[in-house]
Amino acid sequence: MYRRDFLKTTATTAAGFALTPNLHEVMAAPRQPLADPFQLRYRQVHLDFHTSELLKPIAEQFDPEEFAATLKRASVNSVTAFGRCHHGMIYHDTKKFPERHHPGLSRNLLKEQIVACHKQDIRVPVYVTVEWDYYSAQHHPEWLCYDEHGKPLGTEPYQAGFYRRLDVASPYTDFLKAYLTEMFEVVGEVDGLFFDIMHAVENSAPYAIAAMLKRGLNPEKAEDRAIHATFVINDFKRDMTAFVRKLDKNCSIFYNSGHVGPYLRQSVDTYTHLELESLPSGGWGYLHFPLTGRYARTLPNLDVLGMTGKFHTSWGDFHSLKNSAALEFEIFTMLALNAKCSIGDQLHPNGKLDPATYDLIGSVYGPVAQKEPWCLGAKPVVDIALFSAEEVFQREGQTSTAPRTPTMSMGAVRMLQEGKHQFDVVDSGADFTKYKVLILPDVVTFDSTLKAKVEDFLAGGGAVLASYESGLTLDKKAFASSTFGLELVGEAPFSPDFIVTTGSQIGQGLPQTELVMYQKGMQVKPTTATVLAQTNVPFFNRTYEHFVSHRHTPSSGKAGYPAVTQAGRVVYFMHPIFGQYGQNAPSWCRKLVLNALDRLLPEPILRLPGAPTTLIAALNEQPTRRVLHLLNYIPERRGTDFDVLEDVIPLANVAVSLRADKKPVSVKTAPQGQALKFSYANGRVAFTLPELRGHQMVAVG
């Protein structure tokens, strides 16, 4: 109850908060000396400089002109440089905080970086650490966050690392403001601020307990501590954004938590843009950016920047280089999903950029510069809205300290990408009417507001594909809406059970046999729904008393209960089919979902008949043309830690069918300009791309 009430309260508060009556006009105001200062650039480097105070001297090889020239040669036009790092060190002149000035630094490094880059029309946002600050953690333990046992959160005393959490509701915030005030004075031109490590952190420090009690919360309850943590982080963002606007009305502002999802709606008015940190080899994986990118682009009035790294693994991986094919895939995926690009690097303590790193970055950013005209202002063209399961977990009390990327969301993204469907990821604040189909994966229970919104969507001609607990009431005791045409019996009595699709359209393209469904489903009884597929049940469940062979009991051949049903424009799967695909990707699960979509969406925007599942397609639209992005890269698990990508395997004769209201004038590859033969019939454009080598854009206009 606290959580739901809290979200309603903060939504109202966030909507009412205004930094200035004409914020967007102020942010768009011209700024010198950059050519397009507030507009995010397509080719950014995020240049880490977390440098221990024990290293002396530092930046002794830094040459400002060489620094800027190296970036320029690599086609970089924006670089995030460091004001303060996780070690708590300052990298520019300071009179207020000489004890925090890096003891090995003898020059005004940040100022020199900014001046040199501005001469080359390179934008320079400034990095400022927030919740990780080793110096502050060591010297001000009263600023730390503590767990419910009174232990400081983060790095233990004899572990390496600067990961102890600082509380942004403590006097630490006064230091941050004093630091920023001086930084603006010393540096002069601040194009933007990147506030890093911004999470809602449960805190049981004495003053945090007092604050919770004042708010009427019970600090002994984890749920209430989570509510308070979200209050704290959102209040900090609002206060800090208002403070920065007193220092500079034009600089961009971003608060980084390593993930962007539905939790952001509570404070989205404090951001000028979004940067989606997502290093596939650093723990995020190759499905994280498609999930967050497809969500972030639905938030209004916010430019989006994707962020990967040049590292073979993750941040701080000195003297490593990512395979060039992997960097291409990650960067070109950003373009396809309407994001600008950022590549993470870390400056060596000597202050000199590594030439090999910028040869690598330039090999990708050179082509990005050529592709930009087909990306500027492009908007996605989509049929489907995939509801974010993350919102459900947020509603149930999860904070953004470690935002979840739920398995069912990952499974759904993978299925839809492999099926070449065009889709956004949405939350309950989105406008569903822009879409033809709404997918509710596995866990999307309904409160009264969401129930009404989904029913209105169906009444307006939309279609719904739901699975498992989706569509149930919050207590999961019944279906919330009669539109499903189902009555809930309860948890299925058998697991695994076996889906039978013989002779049914829902099983088209599948072997005519029983297929195992590994995860337990919900037993349902049709009221008005039609059964599209049935389950057979095993002889018995596997227990210590009765079991068969190494895994599960085989089918008894006896019919059990409905597996897939349809009532009007609603298709329902009783199993958590998206979570199952996210776990171990049974191809029959994908085929079942794609067959269901064929029933609900017989004329999708895009078809690529015969294309392999590795091919990813994204369709965008500019005022005078549509631009189709095709990508074929194949990540492999060559080591145990993460997927890598090394080889680009070309595809020949990729057939494309595109829904269109009228016959186009031309179909051309971009940026090459090669004209492709095409036909137009029955509202669809058809053409064949002779070769796809990695990434190719095709302009249809």
Q: What is the domain-level CATH number for residue 629? A: 2.60.40.1180
Residue 536 contacts residue 497 (beta carbons within 8 Å): yes
Q: How many angstroms separate the first and last alpha carbons of the chain?
A: 52
Does residue 491 sit in the same domain as residue 565?
Answer: yes
- Structural domain count, the chain: 2
What pLDDT does 39 receive?
Answer: 74
What pLDDT does 405 receive?
Answer: 72
Read off the pLDDT of each residue in 32-57 and give the average, rounded to a whole number: 84
**Residue 23 resides in a domain:** no
Does residue 447 sit in the same domain as residue 536?
Answer: yes
pLDDT tens digits along 463-506: 999 999 999 999 999 999 999 999 999 999 999 999 999 888 99
Does residue 565 sit in the same domain as residue 679?
Answer: no
Distance (Å, whole) CA 272 – CA 39? 10
What's the whole-number average pLDDT of the chain?
93
pLDDT confidence tier of residue 6, bands split at 50, 70 and 90: very low
Q: What CATH number should be reported for the domain holding residue 440?
A: 3.40.50.880
What pLDDT does 24 receive?
Answer: 31
**Residue 660 resides in a domain:** yes
Does residue 404 sit in the same domain as residue 546?
Answer: yes
Residue 554 contacts residue 528 (beta carbons within 8 Å): no
Instruction: Strand 125-129: give its sheet, edge to edge.
Output: 252-255, 192-196, 125-129, 78-84, 43-48, 340-346, 303-309, 273-277
Read off the pLDDT of each residue in 576-605 and give the average, rounded to a whole number: 97
What pLDDT does 22 receive?
Answer: 29
What pLDDT does 224 receive?
Answer: 95
What pLDDT does 296 receive?
Answer: 98
pLDDT at 34 over 70: no
**Residue 87 resides in a domain:** no
Final residue of a structural domain among 557, 582, 600: 600
pLDDT at 2 over 80: no
Does residue 585 sit in the same domain as residue 632?
Answer: no
pLDDT tens digits along 93-121: 999 999 999 999 999 999 999 999 999 99
Place of tokens 């993470």: 344
Handedness of CA 487, 493, 495, 498 (dihedral sign): negative
DSSP secondary structure, 6-30, as one string? HHHHHHHHHHH--SSTTHHHHHTS-
pLDDT tens digits along 202-219: 999 998 999 999 999 999
What pLDDT does 397 receive?
Answer: 58
Phi-psi region of 75 (alpha: psi -120 to 50; beta: other; left: phi over 0): left
Does residue 634 sit in the same domain as residue 572?
Answer: no
Final residue of a structural domain among 600, 625, 641: 600
Does residue 462 sit in the same domain as residue 588?
Answer: yes
Q: Which residues contact 417 (CB under 8 A, 6 or more apart)?
A: 290, 616
pLDDT at 264 over 70: yes
Does residue 541 sit in the same domain as residue 688?
Answer: no
**Residue 219 resides in a domain:** no
What pLDDT does 393 receive?
Answer: 85
pLDDT tens digits along 273-300: 999 999 999 999 999 999 999 999 999 9
SS (H, E, C) 182-197: HHHHHHCCCCEEEEEC
**Nearest to residue 655, comparing CAs of 600, 604, 601, 609?**
609
Does residue 535 sit in the same domain as residue 661?
Answer: no
What pLDDT does 503 receive?
Answer: 85
Does residue 582 sit in the same domain as residue 680?
Answer: no
Read off the pLDDT of each residue in 44-59 and give the average, rounded to a whole number: 98
Give the domain range for residue 488. Answer: 384-600
**Residue 626 resides in a domain:** yes
| DSSP conformation class of 142 | G
Give the whole-number percent of the chain exceeding pLDDT 70: 93
Does residue 441 sit in the same domain as residue 492?
Answer: yes
Read off the pLDDT of each residue in 655-662 and give the average, rounded to a whole number: 97
What pLDDT does 28 receive?
Answer: 32
**Residue 565 resides in a domain:** yes
Handedness of CA 218, 221, 225, 227 (dihedral sign): negative
**Nearest to residue 464, comparing CAs of 476, 448, 480, 487?**
480
pLDDT at 3 over 60: no
Which helix (H) or strand (E) segment holds residue 389: the answer is: helix 389-395
**Residue 619 resides in a domain:** yes
Does residue 568 sit in the same domain as residue 453?
Answer: yes
Q: Is 326 exposed, middle or buried (0-12, 13-18, 19+ CB in 10 A)?
A: buried
**Residue 543 resides in a domain:** yes
Final residue of a structural domain among 600, 627, 653: 600
